[in-house]
Amino acid sequence: MKQVSTIIILLFAAQMIKIETVFSQIRIAKKSVQSSAFIFPVLSKNGKTLDAFVPQGWSVIDSVSGDLNKDSVADEVMILEYQDSIRVKNECNHPRVLLIAFRNGDHWELKLQHNTLIERKELLDDNSSYEDDPYESMEISKGVLRIHFSWSDRGAGTKIQYVIRYQSNDFYLIGATKESGYRSSTSISDFNFSTRKYIHHVADYESGFGGTDEEYEIKKKLPENTLKKISELTELQAWNVYEDEWI
């Protein structure tokens, strides 16, 4: 009889685990949308106000104003974020849209919609979650847009700056700077895609760890045809410029 009671208890516990799993899946489903069902909106081409470019279910998380097309009128760069996350296996992505609109008389004109360059990810496991948001800030200075990214991984920090200019009726990545650091070592790579100049600076101060200090600089000419439109960049650090340099 005691054995039968034990079996009943075990079966009951197993059933409760199944129920909790189902409710857990329901909670996750409410927070996220399956990626296969998600479609990015096609933003309006024109609008009397900037609100006309913000679809239902989206919000503006950052914006900056400045003259990008040299007409002495302030243009607008905005980052939109979808209210829900998109679940892919154990990872939730929060879709974002980078948009640039030019002021033309009494209305705004959409000049760029980029759906994958700026993204926030939430990595999930069985017990906890943490957010990874590389996007840091953006600014318009001297007619160019600068977007800053920053993140860390296992104690190593990385920063990337994109320099974007409007020319030839499109937006081009004319420069980038990538800085990586771990303990007392730093590595800075500076790219000028307009002049094809590349400077790589390394400072390694390991004397406090029983090593020797080292500092050097490498200058090279970038390969031809490295000037890219922003629309050609699929996501952050997806472009292998050459060798092991990824931005």
What span, in angstroms and rounded, lies between the C-alpha atoms of 14 and 18? 6
Q: What is the reported pLDDT for 208?
A: 54
Whether the CB-CB separation of 38 and 96 falls below 8 Å is answered with: no
pTM value > 0.95: no
∠ CA(152), CA(92), CA(38), 5° rounding?
135
What proportion of the chain, given as a percentage, has pLDDT over 90? 63
Q: Which of 14-18, 74-78, 118-122 is most confident?
A: 74-78
What is the maximum alpha-carbon separation in the chain?
Answer: 89
For the ranges 2-11, 56-65, 153-162, 193-202, which has the lowest average pLDDT? 2-11
Q: What is the reported pLDDT for 123?
A: 65
Tokens 């760890």 found at: 209
Q: What is the reported pLDDT for 131?
A: 62
Higher pLDDT, 187 or 90: 187
The total number of residues written for the chain in this structure: 247
Average confidence score pLDDT of the chain = 84
For the ranges 19-23, 157-161, 195-199, which has the lowest average pLDDT? 19-23
Q: Exposed, middle or buried: residue 194 (CB in 10 Å: 0-12, 13-18, 19+)?
A: middle
Asked if the model's pLDDT at residue 65 lies above 50, the reply is: yes
What the block records as the tokens of 61 is 């998380």
Q: What is the mean pLDDT of residues 173-189?
A: 93
